[in-house]
Structure 1
Amino acid sequence: MKTGYAMLFAALLSGCATQPSSSTTTAAIPPTLYDYTIRSPSGDEMTEQALANALSDADIVLVGEWHSHPGAHLLQARLLAALYANNPRLALSMEQFTRDKQPILDQFLHGEIGEQVLIKQGNAWPNYESDYRPLVDFARQHQLDVIAANAPKSIVRCVGRYGADYLNRLPAAERKWVAQSLTLNNDKYKEKFTESMHHGDPAQSERQFAAQTSWDDTMAESMVNYLQAHPDHQIMHVAGRFHTAEGLGTASRILSRNPALKVVMVTPVTADNPVAADAPDFQVEVIPLPPRYIQEANMKAAFAHIGKRNDTLQCIGE
Structure 2
Amino acid sequence: MRLTLFALCLMAFSFRPDKPAYRLYTSTLKATTYAKLLHQATEADVVLFGELHNNPICHWLELQLTKDVQTAKKGSLVLGAEMFETDNQTALSDYIQAKTTAKELATQARLWPNFTTDYKPITDFAREQHIPFIATNVPRVYARLVSRQGLSALDTLSADAKRQIAPLPLTVDLTLPGYQAMIDMMGNASHSGTTNPQTTTSSKTPSDMAANFARAQAIKDATMAYFILQNHQSGQTFLHFNGDYHSKNFEGIVWYLRQKQPDLKIMTISSVEVLDVNKPAAENQNLADFLITIPVDMTKTY
> So what's the TM-score if we normalise by structure 2?
0.81
Residues 104 and 29 from structure 1, CA distance in 2 versus in 1: closer, same or farther, beyond 3 angstroms? Answer: farther
Aligned partner of 2:218 in structure 1 is 213
- The one-letter amino acid of 2:220's match is W
Q: Distance in 2 between matches of 1:104 and 1:279?
A: 34
Aligned partner of 2:149 in structure 1 is 162
Aligned partner of 2:60 in structure 1 is 74
* Deviation (angstroms), 1:231: 2.2
Q: Which has the larger radius of gyration?
A: 1
* Deviation (angstroms), 1:276: 4.4
Within the candidate set 236, 260, 264, 1:257 is matched to 260
Aligned partner of 1:283 in structure 2 is 291
* Deviation (angstroms), 1:248: 1.1
Q: Distance in 2 between matches of 1:179 and 1:30?
A: 47
Q: Aligned residue pairs: how many?
A: 268
Residues 213 and 47 from structure 1, CA distance in 2 versus in 1: closer, same or farther, beyond 3 angstroms? Answer: same
SS of 2:274 mapped into structure 1: coil
Aligned partner of 1:39 in structure 2 is 25
Within the candidate set 173, 180, 183, 2:171 is matched to 183
Task: Please say if residues 48 and 79 of structure 1, whose CA atoms lie closer than 8 Å, have aligned partners that are also in contact.
Answer: no
Q: Distance in 1 between matches of 2:149 and 2:214?
A: 11
Residues 122 and 31 from structure 1, CA distance in 2 versus in 1: closer, same or farther, beyond 3 angstroms? Answer: farther
Structure 2: which 5+ runs fail to align?
A: 1-8, 192-205
Aligned partner of 1:235 in structure 2 is 238
**What do you get for the CA RMSD once the two structures are aligned?**
2.5
Q: Distance in 2 between matches of 1:255 and 1:83?
A: 23
Task: Please say if residues 102 and 147 of structure 1, whose CA atoms lie closer than 8 Å, have aligned partners that are also in contact.
Answer: yes
Aligned partner of 1:93 in structure 2 is 80
Q: Distance in 1 between matches of 2:103 and 2:15?
A: 44
* Deviation (angstroms), 1:57: 1.9
Residues 119 and 190 from structure 1, CA distance in 2 versus in 1: closer, same or farther, beyond 3 angstroms? Answer: same
Q: Distance in 2 between matches of 1:114 and 1:67?
A: 25
Structure 1: which 5+ runs fail to align?
A: 1-20, 293-318
Q: Distance in 2 between matches of 1:222 and 1:29?
A: 45
- The one-letter amino acid of 1:259's match is P
